[in-house]
Structure 1
Amino acid sequence: MAEPLSYVLIHRVDLFSEYQQQLIELLKLSSADDAILGFDTTFDDQKAIQYLVSLEKEIASQSLQILVGQHQETLVVCCFFKRSHQQTTRHLCDLQKGMIHPHFRSQGLLEQTLAAIACECMAQGVELLTLDVRGGTKAHRIWEKCGFETYGILNDYSRFQGKSFDGYFMKQRTQDLWNRFKIFYTQGSEKMSVGTELIPKKEFRTQMRETLEKHLTLGHPLFKYLLDEKHPNSDLLKFTTLQGYQLTKNFLTYIEHLFFHCPLPKHKRALLHNMYEEETGRLSNTKNHVELMQDFVRALGISDAERDAATALPQTQALIDYRMIACKNPDLYHIGAAAVMVASEGQNLESVGDEARHNILGKVYGLKEADLLFFSVHQEEDVGHVQQGLALLADLCDTPKRQQEAIEAIETTCELFYQMYQGVYEYFGYDKQDQAAKAELIGEV
């Protein structure tokens, strides 16, 4: 998306009526972002109507304005401006409910929108911008990168899924925000704020590899239950495997689209070999990789009917969709390649010490080598696949914008893998169990 968005400031009720349905649809998507915006999966149509009424009242009272950004009549970004009626605080504006549509993220729209926010606020005489965010989240890290500084921390700021989170209250002068991002106001999203110089290919490959290695999913607490030799949990392994099977079913589709859209002939040939192996297994002298996964599923005692009836948890589906959207869109090719060929293929390279996790699973659950072929084949092949992905991206990402987006795609995909395991962890109630154990330990101390 190279062209700038079209921005509209909703400051009257008649304008609000034109955009309210699209706004609600965008707000509903926040339930897939761990309720960062204050909404969770209970945000249904009835609650949406109630929320629209409250927004309309605030707009009518001139305490709320909403900046929206559109791309070809689709609302893709928005930010709420909360203003004060008091003359002594008219120089302040609190930014709330900042959103970018999931299908349009990692395309430079944040920088462009921040410039639009600064421009609009300066026009209204706003000199200082504030916001609050749940600590430790991706949103928190983004605001820090964008120049917002913490001026206060509130304990027990929000509660979600039985957990309490601290809130970080942040600020930035409007002029500083404008100076930081003004270049994007007229030039659109083809330039990025971070990484304004092209990184040399060798260094870029190193940065991508380091990004992958910084986000190891084996650190998730779920694995202490999965790999517990003293207390094997077959039900947990079966459920986790069926979630993994949802990923496997879609993997060939990712590779097919990456092959079809690949603009570089030498890398297209490598993708052809990858696709051929996924479909036939002949390069590894095995068989179709989905069938290999099905063999593992059967080895756990799961019937074909049970396997086919299984569905993805929301966190698992988010990982599937993120990669599918990028792979199918030629404009997002580098994001899809980074997500699939580096971040996803790289998941199979993790180990516990010197031992691969599938070998540990085999020991804990009494599985034979033949049962684990899906994993052993991928552990061997994916070393080369990750190298191919790094080489492809080094050649393909010829602008700072693309380089940064590729690195962000690796980070995002790894985080989505982690969230998939978090979904299983919470489904089995281990999060509450571990919280209780921690609280008891603290109490004893």
Structure 2
Amino acid sequence: MSDFVAELDRMIGARKKMTSELYRTILAGKATRRLLHDFVLHRWPIKSFWTRNILGIASRVEDHRLRVLLVENIYEEETGGLSGSGRHLDTFADFGAAVGVTADELAHAPVVPETAAVVEHNVRVCNTGAHFTQGVASVLLLMEGQPPIVDQGGKSMLSVMRDVYGLPEKGYEFFVHHASADEGEDAVSELEDEHAAAARELLRRYCDTPELRQGAITALADALELRHRHFDMILRTAYDPAEPVFRHTA
């Protein structure tokens, strides 16, 4: 069983976000305003559905203690009450505002085929007849168990948004709890560690047949492929290296 969960972690590590040219471009400080602007717009439909996906998983977890861990995850995401921050989706909107995204643009964010495919996968594995462990592996663990988004020089999403792109504190707060802290803290927040640990425990507890374990592996493989197609679409449609790099101005 431990080998099964280790295999899921290996799969995530092999296609972690830093294997995407999109994230490497952002971490290198080369992102343009248009790239960061469209990054927010295209990520928004996926992020805005996050807690509803986790609710779908939680509703089918019989164990009270494990269900509470998921409820705490949802509560933190929706309120920021455990970390003393704001609602996490609102802090992502604040990041968007810092790179020029308006509230009206978020309200009418485009859902292109690559984005729709990710949303549809997440709904299917979390909120339909698929066994909920497929959602735990390919949505919860994939997001919360993501290896540090750190470049070879030690820059994290938080540090590059703050120190390179020059965002104000409100603009980079989202990254304090997501993919996230500075190099000295391994660029992963304590919240992410806790949520990933809960996902692994759920998988060890409930993926108790070869069929369920294979279902979780297949769902994760599908999610990784769809997510990287989504990342590639953002870079392909929103990035021109001839445009000036973004630097925030007050």
Alignment TM-score, normalising by the size of structure 2: 0.84
The secondary structure found in structure 2 opposite 1:301 is coil
1:219 equivalent in structure 2: 19
Is 1:207 matched with 2:17?
no
Return the structure number with greater strand share.
1
User: Please, which of 229, 240, 246 is the counterpart of residue 419 of structure 1?
Assistant: 229
Matches of 2:229 and 2:238, distance apart in 1: 14
Relative to structure 1, the CA distance from residue 325 to residue 331 in structure 2 (aligned partners, 3 Å threshold; closer, same or farther) is closer
User: Please, which of 103, 108, 111 is the counterpart of residue 304 of structure 1?
Assistant: 103
| CA-CA distance at 1:251 after TM superposition | 0.4
Matches of 2:173 and 2:167, distance apart in 1: 11
Q: What letter matches 1:300 in structure 2?
A: V
Number of corresponding residues: 231
Q: What letter matches 1:236 in structure 2?
A: L
Q: Which runs of 5+ in 2 are unaligned?
A: 180-188, 243-250
Relative to structure 1, the CA distance from residue 428 to residue 274 in structure 2 (aligned partners, 3 Å threshold; closer, same or farther) is closer
Is 1:409 matched with 2:219?
yes
| CA-CA distance at 1:399 after TM superposition | 0.3
| CA-CA distance at 1:429 after TM superposition | 6.9
Matches of 1:289 and 1:364, distance apart in 2: 23
1:321 equivalent in structure 2: 120
The answer to whether the Cα contact below 8 Å between 1:217 and 1:414 also exists between their aligned partners in 2 is no
Matches of 2:146 and 2:103, distance apart in 1: 26
Please give the per-residue CA displacement for 1:227-282, whole angstroms capped at 9, x wherever unaligned. 443x5411111101111112111001111111112133221111111111111111
Is 1:270 matched with 2:65?
no
Matches of 1:304 and 1:290, distance apart in 2: 13
The answer to whether the Cα contact below 8 Å between 1:232 and 1:364 also exists between their aligned partners in 2 is no
| RMSD over equivalenced CA pairs, Å | 2.2
Relative to structure 1, the CA distance from residue 419 to residue 326 in structure 2 (aligned partners, 3 Å threshold; closer, same or farther) is same
Relative to structure 1, the CA distance from residue 343 to residue 232 in structure 2 (aligned partners, 3 Å threshold; closer, same or farther) is closer
2:186 equivalent in structure 1: none
| CA-CA distance at 1:397 after TM superposition | 0.4
Is 1:393 matched with 2:203?
yes
Return the structure number with greater helix share.
2
Matches of 1:418 and 1:350, distance apart in 2: 15
Q: What letter matches 2:221 in structure 1?
A: E
Say which one has the larger Rg: 1
Matches of 1:347 and 1:243, distance apart in 2: 19
1:180 equivalent in structure 2: none
Structure of greater relative contact order (alpha carbons < 8 Å, 6+ residues apart): 2
User: Please, which of 242, 245, 252 is the counterpart of residue 41 of structure 2?
Assistant: 242
| CA-CA distance at 1:348 after TM superposition | 7.0
| CA-CA distance at 1:283 after TM superposition | 0.1
Matches of 1:429 and 1:245, distance apart in 2: 18
Please give the per-residue CA displacement for 1:147-194, whole angstroms capped at 9, x wherever unaligned. xxxxxxxxxxxxxxxxxxxxxxxxxxxxxxxxxxxxxxxxxxxxxxxx
User: Please, which of 230, 234, 252 is the counterpart of residue 51 of structure 2?
Assistant: 252
1:68 equivalent in structure 2: none
1:366 equivalent in structure 2: 166
1:343 equivalent in structure 2: 142
The secondary structure found in structure 1 opposite 2:116 is helix
Q: Which runs of 5+ in 1 are unaligned?
A: 1-200, 434-445
Alignment TM-score, normalising by the size of structure 1: 0.49
The answer to whether the Cα contact below 8 Å between 2:24 and 2:151 also exists between their aligned partners in 1 is no
Matches of 1:244 and 1:331, distance apart in 2: 24
Q: What letter matches 1:377 in structure 2?
A: H
The answer to whether the Cα contact below 8 Å between 1:349 and 1:383 also exists between their aligned partners in 2 is no
| CA-CA distance at 1:217 after TM superposition | 2.5
Please give the per-residue CA displacement for 1:295-325, whole angstroms capped at 9, x wherever unaligned. 1111112211122122122111111110111
The answer to whether the Cα contact below 8 Å between 1:351 and 1:357 also exists between their aligned partners in 2 is yes
The answer to whether the Cα contact below 8 Å between 1:313 and 1:423 also exists between their aligned partners in 2 is no
Q: What letter matches 1:361 in structure 2?
A: M
1:282 equivalent in structure 2: 81
